[in-house]
Each structure stands twice: as structure tokens, then as C-alpha cells.
Structure 1
């Protein structure tokens, strides 16, 4: 069972969802050295990402984004905070919530 599971529905269509997913991946890569392999499919894209302490996938469809991630031992104690931050960042790239700039004590912009 994944430590983090976030699912968001949207009305962006596949093209818009791909753009939002790539935006999230780009930000995560720049800020946190996430390595990602992105595979486009006809009805579903899958991005597999990794960095020390976290491995996961982001599934992209025409009407949803689903992120699942496994956390390493050191990060698992902060899974609720990490999950909340990732959810806010996904909401931001989907355009469903404004960007938040608070520092939650774990570093601004966590994933």
C-alpha cells in the first residue's frame, strides 16, 4: 500500500492534463532532484519518479491525475505533511487552488 495516494479529477482534457503533469514534474525536478520517466499513452500517461527516500508514479488521464508514492523510512514519519504539500502543488498546477508560499517547517515547496 502506498504511503501517499492523491487523486484529483479535472476538466482539462488529455492535452491540458499532460501540460499540468509536466509542469509538476519540472518543478519537482528543479527543486528536489526528482528523476522522472514520462511515457505517453493513448488514453493514459504514466510518469515514474524517484529520488532518495521517495519512489512513485503519476498517472494522467483526460479527467484525472493520480499520484501514488512510497516513502523511505526517514520520510515516512512526515507522510501527512508531505502528502498535504504534494496535494497543494498538484491543485496549483491544475489551477484549482492558488499557490501557497507558507513554510511548514519542512521546507517551502516540498514536491
Structure 2
């Protein structure tokens, strides 16, 4: 398995940051069938080949994910897209 670990600073109020993460989760669900569920300030997500979480922390968002065998081959582009989206939403 291959892992992704990204931290993105932000200056949003908690409710606004949570809304931004929810919008990202909605797109993941619509585009890739990713199941997402909140547990406090952590959004867990999974689908065949990936398990991860997005943690809302004061002044930062932390994304971590474990990629299965097939998605591990695409780690670079996946990580680049995550960074792009986080920068767009929180930068």
C-alpha cells in the first residue's frame, strides 16, 4: 500500500472550513462513488482501493489516505490533484 499525507493551512472559521470539506466530499462521491462520513471534525472516506480521512484542525486541514495496489501506481497525480483542490479551497 502507498500512503498520502498532506497538510494545508487555512484561516477560515470552523463552520466555513467544514462546509468546504463537505463540498469536496460531495464531489468525490459524485465523481468516484466515494463513501464519506463525519465523525466529529474528521471526515472519513473510502471506496475500493482507497481509505482515508480529512481532519479539520485549528488553522489547518490534514488529509491522509492509504491507496490500494492499483491506485498506488497513480499516487503522483492523485496527490497533485489533492494539493490543487486544497490550495483552491483553503489557500
**Shared fold, TM over 0.5:** yes
Aligned residues: 91
Partner of 2:68 in structure 1?
Answer: 72
Structure with max Cα Rg? 1
More strand by share: 2
TM-score by length of 1: 0.76
Q: Quote the RMSD (CA, aligned, Å).
A: 1.5
Instruction: Select the structure with the greater relative contact order (CA < 8 A; seq sep ≥ 6).
Output: 2
Give me the whole-angstrom Cα distance separating, in 2, the residues matched to 1:62 and 1:18: 11
Q: Segments of 4+ in structure 1 off by > 6 A? A: none
> Which consecutive unaligned segments of at least 5 residues does structure 2 have?
none
**TM-score normalised by length of structure 2:** 0.91
More helix per residue: 1 or 2? 2
**Structure 1 gap ranges (5+):** 97-111
